A and B are shown apart, each in its own frame.
Chain A
């Protein structure tokens, strides 16, 4: 029998790990020192959240599964993150806008996960919610700043949205493993937070003078392990040491 809850925990963890990794690529490259530090702090929070979910998944599995084996020894088709989070960064505007739309989603999701029937999921979500509130606040202010900034920053954020919008629909479509868990109360239906997400994002866009228009069609597949080619490059970099030198420790 398939362990749907295990897959769901990996989905929650992989989202945090993959975006944490993407953001960490900015380390030493941020436009100014404070924002370099902000983004790497957000990376740390995300990787910390991923660890809680991996640790819990590993503890449930036993049989030699560890948080490290889950992060470093799975192949691309065994990762269940949203496609949006693995896309490479175009520019600062793309990084900021992706962070904002995802943090806003994560914030609503973690709020709803307080109602999960699984107590450890409730505990992790409650812990992560506090940090995610900072991520929303920081990225939201940057979206507004870039939208209202120069013609260049405005156009770049518009361009980023054109690219990002086709990937946000995936947030709200339950994967088959999720549907079963929604029925049993362990997971929450992501579809039920869509309306509020649209409300929050469109209000920030209004402040940023960016027209909000959704997309009827959406890219999807990440939640089922079908990825863009970009995930492979992330894993190649992230997993190299453990693949080349199994069991290596610092």
Chain B
């Protein structure tokens, strides 16, 4: 039998996707903060951090983590919610940002200090000529933009 390691669990968790943005996995998002084995209780402790406080996807993600680990024959684990340090889009992987762009969502565009947070380019045509339609989009993590060249509206994953 294969010995369970942190990396093995992490690779299993890398198959769990965000229910609202299914191209992103929870490891792309930086939601999994720590995996460690509690020797006393002989139990894996998986620490996850919420993205936004009110994100309804978080409960779903916990359930999916449970189901995925169970289906891989792992049952000695508990999921712990960790608030600090607070989640930031800086933890999103580069491959995650690429996947977002291909999916039609402009990835977080880490701005220089003082420059307003806005997308680098329209994910459809690549134009940087975009304008804000609404500060809040279809989910807490996104705002709604419009491309002034191809005229398509698109979601922007806000820096957080």
Report which A residues bind B (CB closer than 8 A): 34-35, 37-38, 41-49, 51-52, 119-120, 122-124, 126-131, 134, 137-138, 141
Question: With A and B bound together, what is the CA distance between A37 and B134 in angstroms?
Answer: 9
Q: Which residues of B contact A41 (CB under 8 A)?
A: 54, 136, 139-140
In the bound complex, do residue A130 and residue B160 qualify as a contact, i.e. CB atoms below 8 Å apart?
yes
Residues of A within 8 A of B160 (CB): 130
Closest to B138 in A: A37
**A48-B144 in contact (CB<8A):** no
A34 near B134 (CB under 8 angstroms)? Answer: yes
Judged by a CB distance under 8 angstroms, whether B137 is at the interface is: yes
Residues of B within 8 A of A (CB): 50, 52-56, 83-87, 133-140, 144, 158, 160
Q: Work out how many contacts link A and B, with CB atoms closer than 8 A.
A: 72
A198 smallest CB distance to B (angstroms): 25
* A137-B55 in contact given A48-B50, A127-B86, A130-B86 (Cβ < 8 Å): no
Which residues of chain A have C-beta atoms less than 8 A from B144's C-beta? 34
Could you say which residues of chain B place their CB within 8 Å of the CB of A47? 54
B residues near A126, Cβ cutoff 8 Å:
83-86
Given A126-B84, A130-B160, do A45 and B134 touch, yes or no (CB 8 Å)?
no
A138 B83 Cβ-Cβ under 8 A: no
> Of B56, B85, B86, which is in contact with the most chain A CB atoms at under 10 Å from its CB?
B86
Complex Cα distance, B160 from A92, in Å, reads 28
